[in-house]
Structure 1
Amino acid sequence: MSTDVVVCGAGVGGLATAHALSALGLRVLVIEKQPSVRAVAKGEVFQPSALAALRTWGVEQRLLELGALGLHRIVVRDQCSEPMLSLDYRGLPGPDQDLLAHDYPTILTAMTDCLDFNVELRRGVLADELLRDETGRVVGVRVKEHGQVSDIHARLVVAADGVSSRLRRAASIEVRRLDYPHRLLCLELPASGEQPPDFSAYVTDRGMRLCYPLPGDRIRLYLQVAPDELRGLDEPALAAWCHTALHQVPALRQLIDRAVASLRHKQVLPVSRHIASRLTVPGLVLVGEAAHSVHPMAAQGMRTSVGDAVHLAAELARSGDLSLTEVDDTLLRYTERRTPELIHIGRMSHNATRMTTGTMWLGRWFGRRAARRTSANPQLLRAVTSNMSGIGARPLTTFDRLHQFGLVPHLGARGRTAQSNHQAHFSEQRKPNEI
């Protein structure tokens, strides 16, 4: 069979790409190896810059109908719950001043519900090999479905098949994956009527504790652990570990009983970061986690995947032509423009992670110092808020970094209050959304 575009992978990146490209009038086939959506604790928070695209596709409204929560702030707190750095999105320009949170399976369901008529989604289909023409250009994929092998030809193949992308390897695109020296124990706490008001990361001498609400009065809780810290623990020992990990943060002590009760459904997630050495080869483009990944602390994964789709569609729309030559020229332009943005997002996410996850004394000291000095400097605070939200992004300079660590004064902050700076920033003409 043949189609305009075949998207391999029905996660957020793949479904966003299907939405964005079908809006151009293209016929899109989405194939997904999993026969059904799995309950995985990932990708539960959209940054404000992704919401405009979700609104255009009808996904935002569908998520709200399914109970999605709006959160105003990302807060980094010390062990005693005092805010060290608070990013308040209510000062952002335009209508999008919230994080939007829901379960990952529900997000995928909402994105699937809103697909256009010219998108076909087929589950239980594995993209096994790339098809190439005599020049080596990718012209489709060979798939396996119910034990049968068939070929799907397309003018563009989108690899959205995750961190361990089979198609990325088949295209000989290299990636250097950098693992963090810890893992995350992930728990979903059942309803109790009490929820945290925001997305809060608590910095402790044993690592980060991350907490935010989910629909239905539930709570998502991440506890940082060393790679082998939980190995060999039986149920009582694991419960004792969880009790100690939460007891050291007074604000989280009320969650201890619910957390211990949730341990039977725990997930322990390795965490890493990467950006592919290139995003495209002729006929194929990587999107979502096939192209990049970041630590969950920064909540940037889904907004970056949606951004891939939006930017790719914008480049194809500019070309106005889906000849093979024009598609490949478009992919080159996409790579040139998107790669610096992904590098910026990756660096920002890594810096936010280092600020909150250090367990050595010096790392914790630098992280807390950077958080407090950023919060005290209105110029830096608004830059970091914009960067995290994806609206009006402005990479921090070396001078900004030196000021965060107290090595140089920040002259731009003299004589200006936090409130006046915050208002002044958002009254300026801002850059287009950089999702």
Structure 2
Amino acid sequence: MDADVVVCGAGVAGLAAACALSIRGLRVLLLEKQAEPTRIAKGEVLQPGALGVLREWHVAQRLELRGALRLDRLVARDPAGTPLMALEYDRLRDQERCLLAHDYPVILEALEDRLDDHVELRRGVLVRDVLRETTGRVAGVRITEGGQEREVRAKLVVAADGLSSRLRKVAGIEVRREEYPHRLAAFDIADAPEVEQDFSAYVSERGLRLRYPLPGGRVRLYVQVEPDELRGLGRDAMARWIDELVRDTPALAPLAGALRASAANRQVLPVSRFLAPQLGVPGLALVGETGHAVHPMAAQGMNTSITDAECLARHLGGELTPSSVDAAVGAYQRQRLPELVHIGQTSHNAARMITDLSWSGRVVGRRALRCTGGNERLRYTVMHNMAGLGQHRLTVLDRLHQIGVLPDPRAHRLPTWA
């Protein structure tokens, strides 16, 4: 069962890593503890940066053939639906100029279908620990499969086993997760009336309401809630809660009937953020949610998992030796960590504009949305960053323009780098 690379976890990050590594001719053993993929409201919107990678792998084409929806805008709206800030992706000067939306299980299937003969996928396998050389370098994993324990040796172990990663812990990489004070209630609304083909975030007095279409006449709706707000609500109480939601955000009124019919399938998800202080140790690399997590408001989580995998694979080349693998993991970390710091801060700032319910948070957040929305230079920069096409950091002066403290003489033209 030995391989060049063992990838632990077959979510988007693990499947993307297996794709990227196998394309470069490496023998990959992909291990997943779940016998079947689980359905969860996550990872449904692809940004242009990750979409470009998936198109190179011929995965984006598979998603389009399976009915993926093209979304041309990411829009922040007031409760009545009036745009406060619109990021118009068709204005990007890149090959991929849209968002693509599909169900998470379908995205997993499209990635799995892309795996070639260099990859062996085994489900129902629990990775219990890592194997180490006498130097302490990771040299493989110890697994349990079918009630039997085995050892698998590999030149590189890729940890893609999620937020509560066992491998991250045994590698000695500690993370400090920061929990947001709210939760997100996720609704899969079937038989919904047609909505605009965009990714819309509504700014209400009670926080975020996020809505986008999915294939099959469905709509995904996320609602910011208190931790126990929906606990134990029966049908009648849930109907009253939906009535309050519509009063709070009138733009959602057309969805109310379909939402009532679909409310029983809701999921309430905790929301946190973190970035591991390092993305690897000798013989082991972290990708995806094993190494970082962000608020879903800016649609960055799944996308950074895909670009993590591509970045790691790009640094692995030629004959794999312990020294070449460890050099590649080091290069991956040096390139990726600063990028992830910026992505994490961009996501946090975007979420805070809408989810912060304090008086000061509401005032500053709404002002930032309106001022950014009215500033072509800042709006394009924010869109480019969120699209995953590169990092162009906002300066202190930009931040002052963003909240309207200082006028911006360059507000009506594109940034010079564009």
TM tier, shorter chain? over 0.9
What residue in structure 2 maps to residue 68 of structure 1?
68
**Matched residue type, 2:296:** P
Aligned pairs for 1:208-219 within 5 A: 208-219=208-219
Aligned pairs for 1:257-268 within 5 A: 257-268=257-268
**Matched residue type, 1:412:** R
What residue in structure 1 maps to residue 406 of structure 2?
408
> Is 1:339 aligned to residue 316 of structure 2?
no
Aligned pairs for 1:91-240 within 5 A: 91-240=91-240
Match of residue 396, structure 1, among 386, 394, 397: 394
Classify the secondary structure of the residue corresponding to 1:412. Answer: coil
Q: Which runs of 5+ in 1 are unaligned?
A: 431-435
**Matched residue type, 1:292:** H
Mean CA deviation greater in 334-343 or 189-198:
189-198
What residue in structure 1 maps to residue 348 of structure 2?
350
What residue in structure 2 maps to residue 26 of structure 1?
26
> Deviations 1:133-173 (Å, cap 9, x if unpaired)?
10000000111112111111000000000000010001010
**Matched residue type, 1:338:** R
Mean CA deviation greater in 201-210 or 393-402:
393-402
- Is this contact kept in 1: 2:39–2:105, CA < 8 A? yes
What residue in structure 1 maps to residue 10 of structure 2?
10
Distance 1:262 1:362 in 2: 35
- Is this contact kept in 2: 1:195–1:217, CA < 8 A? no
Distance 1:331 1:266 in 2: 40
Q: Which runs of 5+ in 2 are unaligned?
A: none
Mean CA deviation greater in 304-313 or 403-412:
403-412
Tell me by how many angstroms 1:193 deviates: 4.8
Distance 2:80 2:358 in 1: 19
> Deviations 1:194-237 (Å, cap 9, x if unpaired)?
13321000000111110000001100000110112223433321
- Is this contact kept in 2: 1:195–1:218, CA < 8 A? no
**Matched residue type, 2:255:** L
Distance 2:246 2:6 in 1: 46
Tell me by how many angstroms 1:429 deviates: 6.3
**After TM superposition, which residue ranges in structure 1, 4 or more long, deviate above 3 angstroms?**
none
Distance 2:408 2:195 in 1: 38
- Is this contact kept in 2: 1:274–1:292, CA < 8 A? yes
> Is 1:311 aligned to residue 311 of structure 2?
yes
Change beyond 3 A, Cα 1:127–1:329 = same
Distance 1:401 1:94 in 2: 26
**Matched residue type, 2:141:** V
What residue in structure 1 maps to residue 273 of structure 2?
273
**Matched residue type, 2:263:** L
Change beyond 3 A, Cα 1:258–1:337 = same
Tell me by how many angstroms 1:243 deviates: 2.0
Distance 2:147 2:394 in 1: 52
- Is this contact kept in 1: 2:272–2:293, CA < 8 A? yes
TM-score normalized by the length of structure 2 = 0.97
TM-score normalized by the length of structure 1 = 0.94
Distance 2:125 2:366 in 1: 47
Tell me by how many angstroms 1:303 deviates: 1.3
Distance 2:246 2:175 in 1: 36
Distance 1:220 1:77 in 2: 17
What residue in structure 2 maps to residue 55 of structure 1?
55
> Deviations 1:370-428 (Å, cap 9, x if unpaired)?
01101111211111011111124311112211221222332433xxx3xxx24xx5xx7
What residue in structure 2 maps to residue 370 of structure 1?
368
Distance 1:392 1:335 in 2: 17
- Is this contact kept in 1: 2:129–2:142, CA < 8 A? yes
What residue in structure 2 maps to residue 433 of structure 1?
none
- Is this contact kept in 1: 2:339–2:391, CA < 8 A? no
Change beyond 3 A, Cα 1:336–1:399 = same
Classify the secondary structure of the residue corresponding to 1:95. Answer: coil
- Is this contact kept in 2: 1:32–1:125, CA < 8 A? yes
- Is this contact kept in 2: 1:243–1:260, CA < 8 A? no
Tell me by how many angstroms 1:88 deviates: 0.3
**Matched residue type, 1:284:** L
Mean CA deviation greater in 321-330 or 101-110:
321-330
**Matched residue type, 2:371:** R
Classify the secondary structure of the residue corresponding to 2:410. Answer: helix
Tell me by how many angstroms 1:333 deviates: 1.3
- Is this contact kept in 2: 1:33–1:123, CA < 8 A? yes
Distance 1:153 1:196 in 2: 51
When the two structures are aligned, how many residues end up with a matched partner?
418
**Matched residue type, 2:171:** A
Tell me by how many angstroms 1:246 deviates: 2.4
Change beyond 3 A, Cα 1:242–1:192 = closer
Tell me by how many angstroms 1:55 deviates: 1.1
- Is this contact kept in 1: 2:191–2:258, CA < 8 A? no
**Matched residue type, 2:322:** L
What residue in structure 2 maps to residue 329 of structure 1?
327
